[in-house]
Chain A
Amino acid sequence: MTADEDISQNIAVNEIVKKVELAHQIKLFEISAPHIVSRVLPGHFVVVRAHETGERIPLTIADVRAEDGILVIIFQEVGKSTRQMGMMGEGDSFADVIGPLGKPSHIERFGTVVCIGGGVGIPPIFPITRALKQAGNRIISIIGARSKSLLILEDWMRPFSDELFITTDDGTYGRKGFVTDELTRLIREGSKVDRVIAIGPTVMMKAVSEATRPYGIKTVVSLNPIMVDGTGMCGACRVEVGGETKFACVDGPEFDGHQVNYELLLARQAIYLRQEKEAMELFQRGTRNGEGE
C-alpha cells in the first residue's frame, strides 16, 4: 500500500489538516489532497470550491508535501468567498479541490534569476524560486508588501536565495518603496540578470515588466484573471498576449511580461466589482446577525 492510499483512509480528501493565520486576513491551509499532489509542479494552480453554493476559485499552490499527500495554499481574504473560506477551520473540508491546472513554470539553468513576489504573490513564487535554485541558478529574491505585518514567507524564501531584498510601501521593514525600486537599483548597479519572474498584484507585474523592458531582460509573470472551470472550457480568463487572445488557465498562467496587455487584464478583473460588493455586504450583515443570536 502506498503512502497516498494510507492517508486517504484516515483523512477525508480535501480536508483542512492545518490552518495558520500568517498575517491579517492572509491564511495558510494544509489540505489533504493525495490524488493531486503527486502531479504538482512549480507554477501549477488549483481550483477550489468551498461548499455547495460556492464559486470556483483559482488559487496558486504554495507548496506540496507529496509523501503526506498535503497541498499548501495561502490566500488573502478579499471578497465574500475568500472571507468565508477564511472562516473554515481544521477538520473542515472543501467541496472540491481540482488540479493541478495550468502549464508548469519553465525551470532550467538560466544563470542569475531575480524572483519577485508581492503580497500574496510570494507564496506562488516560493516553489518556483526553490526549483530554480535547485536547477543551479543564482537567485536574487525581492519580496514586498504594504507593511511589515503583511510580509509573509521571508523564512521560506531565504534558504533558496543567494540574496534577498525586502521592501515595504510604508518603510516599516526592509527598504521603503516597491519591489520595482529594488529591481531597478540592482539592474542599474550592474547586476547581471538573465531572467526575471514576478508574481503579485497586476499593477506590480506591469511595473516590473516596464522596469526590465528597456534592458531587454526576459520577464515572466503569472496572471490571475477571473476563471470558472480552469480547464479551457469557458474563456472567462482570456488575456491578450502579444496581440493574441490566450486562455490563462490552459495557455498560462505564466506569460512573457513584456507582451501582456495589462490594461485589459485590470479591466477584466473588475467585471464583477459591483456584485462582489453586494455579496460582501449581505454576508457581513448575515454574520453580524448570526453573532447576535
Chain B
Amino acid sequence: MAKVSKKKTPMKEQPRRERTKNFDEVPYGYSEDDAVREAERCLQCKKAFCVAGCPVEIDIPGFIELVRQGKFVEAARLVKAKNVLPAICGRVCPQEDQCEKVCVLAKKGEPVGIGRLERFVADWEAQHGQIAVPDKERPTGKKIAVVGSGPAGLTVAGDLVQVGHEVTIFEALHKPGGVLVYGIPEFRLPKDIVAREVQYIESLGAKLVTSFVVGMTRTVDELLEEFDAIFIGTGAGLPWFMGISGENLNGIYSANEYLTRTNLMKAYLFPQYDTPIVRGKRVAVIGGGNVAMDSARTALRLGAEHSIVVYRRSRTEMPAREEEIVHAEEEGVEFEFLTLPVKYHASNGWVKQMECIRMQLGEPDASGRRRPVPIEGSNFRLEVDTVVVAIGQSPNPLVPSTTPGLEVGRHGNIVVDSETGKTSKKGVFAGGDIATGAATVILAMGAGRIAARAIDEYVQTGRW
C-alpha cells in the first residue's frame, strides 16, 4: 500500500471571484474517486478515538471502510443508523473539534476528512435515488410531541419514531429546520438538503405541523393532555444587542433578522420574493462566531463593497470555525480585531458611523481566553450604512414563560438533567440551545439523542 498522504484529499470549491456573486454552495463535495482516495487514508484503528469524539457515536471506521470498498449506499445507511441528518452534519459540524480532532493521523498531518466523507455518502445516496426507509419497530401506541424542528428536535423525532412511537413535530415558523433554515446561509447549507433530510424523518413516520407556536397556539400543559411526553427544542431564538446608544437606528440588524430575511424569507431574491432587506455598501458585523462569519459573507453576496467583521479580541480567540474564517478571508471580508463598538452616529434616522474603541488583551478570563481591555482615548469612527449584531442569543422565552412548573436558569435556559434531558416538569424533556444556550448543531443533536433514550424509557415504564 502506498504511503498515506499527510493531507486530506482536497475538495473542489466555487472559484473565489464567482462565489460572492451568488448564494450557491461554496464547496462542491467529493467525487467517488476523491471519496475512495480519502477513505484509503483511514487507519481503521481498533480503538477508534473518532467514534468517542462524535456526540452521536457514528461508526466512523465502519462507514469509511464501506466507502473504501465502493459500497456507498451501505456506508450511508450505517451513518444514518446513528445520525438522521448526515448531509447537514457533514457540512456544518465542527469536525475539527470532535471526531477529526482525535484522529490518529492528525498527530503527524491532517486527519481523515470524516465530515467530507459523511457529506459524500449522504449526497450520493440521495443523488442516486437510494434513500430507503428502514424497518420500524412495532407501534407502541405512545405519543410524543417534539417542539421545534431544529437539529435537537429532528434527532429526537428520528430516534423515537424508529422505535415505534407516534411522533408529532411542532414548528413555529412556516418551514421546518429551525436554525438550519433561518440561520445557516444557503451557500453553506443548501435549503433543499435540509428539506431532504426533514422529508426523510417524515418518511420514517413522524408528523410535521408547521406555523404552530407552542406556548401560544397551544401551551405545553395542553399538549400534555394529548401526548405521553414532550421534548422542547426551541433553540436560542432571542437575539442579544449590546445596549449601546443608537442601536435601534435604521440599518442595524440582529444577525437573526439579517439571516432570517435572507435565508428563510429569501430577501436576496427580492422582488421575486416579497421580503426586503437593506443592501448595504459598507456593512459592519459585530462578533467573532460562525454567525458573524455567515452574516459577513451574506453581506458580500447582497452587494456590499466592504464587509467588515468587528471583533473585540484577536483572530486566535475567534470562536468561529477555522474553515469559516478562511472562507470569509478568501472572499474579501475585512477584519477589525481588538475593536469594540461603543455608540452609533446617525443621519436622518439611519446609521452612518460606528464609533469604536481599540482593545488590548489582558489576563485570561473564566473562558480561558485573554480578556479584552479598552485602550483609553483610542476611539475612532467607522463609516457604515448597515450593521449586523452577531454577539449571540439567549434561549427563546415563549415556552418557559408559558409553562408553569418548568424550572428556568439564570440565563432563561430550561434546566435539565444532562444525563436524561429531564426538566423539572414530569413528562417534559428539553435539549439543545434552549437548555445550554447557543452552541452547535451537533451538540444539540447529541442532547437530542440522550433525551430520546430517556423519553423512550419514560413512556415505556412510566417511571420519572
Which B residues are in CB contact (< 8 Å) with A238? 241, 248
- B260 lies within 8 A of chain A by Cβ: yes
Q: Does A101 interact with chain B (Cβ within 8 Å)?
A: yes
B58 to chain A, nearest CB (A): 31
Cβ-defined contact, A95 with B174, below 8 A: yes
A282 at the binding interface (Cβ < 8 Å): yes
Number of cross-chain contacts by CB at 8 Å? 114
Asked if A177 CB lies within 8 Å of chain B CBs, one says no
B213 pairs with A101, CB closer than 8 A: yes
Q: How large is the interface on B (under 10, 10 to 19, 20 to 34, 35 or more residues)?
A: 35 or more
Also in contact, A81 and B256, with CB within 8 A (given A98-B211, A233-B238): no
Instruction: Among B174, B276, B349, point to the contact of A276 (Cβ < 8 A).
Output: B276
Q: Which residues of A193-250 are within 8 A (CB) of B?
A: 228-229, 231-236, 238-240, 245, 250
B residues 248-303 in Cβ contact with A at 8 Å: 248-251, 253-254, 256-257, 260-261, 265-266, 270-276, 278
Q: Does A185 contact B (CB under 8 A)?
A: no
**Given contacts A35-B217, A98-B174, is CB(A233)–CB(B256) below 8 Å?**
yes
Partner of A235, one of B173, B182, B218, B254: B254
Distance of B283 from chain A, by nearest CB (Å)? 15
State how many angstroms separate the Cβ of A223 from the closest Cβ of chain B: 13
Is A55 a contact of B274 with CB atoms below 8 Å? yes
The answer, yes or no, to whether B247 is at the interface (CB within 8 Å) is: yes
Give chain A's interface residue range (CB within 8 Å of chain B).
35 or more
B275 partner, pick from A55, A240, A267, A270, beta carbons under 8 A: A55
Q: Is B397 touching A250 in the complex (CB atoms < 8 A)?
A: yes
Does A54 sit at the interface, judged by CB under 8 A? yes
Interchain CB contact under 8 A, B239 and A97: no
Q: Does A279 contact B (CB under 8 A)?
A: yes
Q: How far is the CA of A276 from the CA of B349 in the complex (A)?
A: 18
State which of B249, B250, B251, B257 has its C-beta within 8 Å of the C-beta of A228.
Answer: B257
Closest CB-CB distance, B38 to chain A, in whole Å?
38
In terms of DSSP, what is the predominant structure of the interface of chain B? loop
Q: Which residue of B lies closest to A101 (CB)?
A: B216
Q: Does B212 contact A (CB under 8 A)?
A: yes
**What is the minimal beta-carbon distance from A31 to any residue of chain B, in angstroms?**
13
| Contact A271 B250, CB 8 Å, known A98-B172, A233-B238, A234-B260 | yes
Q: Are A275 and B260 in contact (CB under 8 A)?
A: no
Q: Chain A contacts of B397 at CB under 8 A? A: 232, 250
Of all chain A residues, the one with the shortest Cβ separation from B218 is A39
Cβ–Cβ < 8 Å partners of A101 in chain B:
213, 216
User: Considering the chains assembled together, what is the distance between the CA atoms of A245 and B239 in angstroms?
Assistant: 12
Say whether B256 contacts A53, CB under 8 Å: no
Which chain B residues lie closer than 8 Å to A130 at the CB level? none
Are the CB atoms of A234 and B239 closer together than 8 Å? Answer: yes
A81 touches B217 (CB 8 A): no
CB distance from B253 to the nearest CB of A (A): 8
**A235 CB, min distance to chain B CBs, angstroms:** 4
Whether B398 is near chain A, meaning CB under 8 Å from some CB there, is yes
Does the CB pair B217–A231 fall under 8 Å?
Answer: no
Q: Quick one: closest B residue to A238, CB to CB?
A: B248
Give every chain B residue within 8 A of A78 (Cβ-Cβ): none
Of chain A, the residue at the smallest CB distance from B222 is A39
Residues facing B in A3-62 (CB within 8 A) are 35-36, 39, 49, 53-56
Contact partners of A272 in chain B: CB under 8 A: 276, 278
A100, B217: Cβ atoms under 8 Å? yes
- In the complex, B396 has a CB within 8 A of chain A: yes
Give CA–CA (A281, B349) in the complex, Å. Answer: 25
Q: Residues 384-403 of chain B: 1 if any A CB is under 8 Å from the residue's CB, otherwise 0? A: 00000000000011100000
Asked if A228 and B271 make an inter-chain contact with CB atoms under 8 angstroms apart, the answer reads no
18 CB < 8 A contacts A-B: A36-B217, A49-B174, A53-B274, A56-B265, A96-B174, A100-B216, A229-B182, A229-B260, A231-B396, A234-B260, A235-B256, A240-B248, A245-B247, A264-B349, A267-B349, A268-B248, A275-B271, A279-B276
Which A residues are within 8 Å of any B CB, using their own CB?
A: 35-36, 39, 49, 53-56, 80-81, 95-101, 228-229, 231-236, 238-240, 245, 250, 264, 267-268, 270-272, 275-276, 278-279, 282
Q: A245-B243, A250-B398, A268-B349 are in contact. List 18 more A-B contacts (CB 8 A).
A: A35-B217, A53-B273, A55-B265, A98-B213, A100-B217, A228-B257, A228-B260, A228-B265, A231-B216, A231-B398, A232-B237, A234-B257, A235-B241, A238-B241, A264-B248, A268-B250, A275-B276, A279-B270
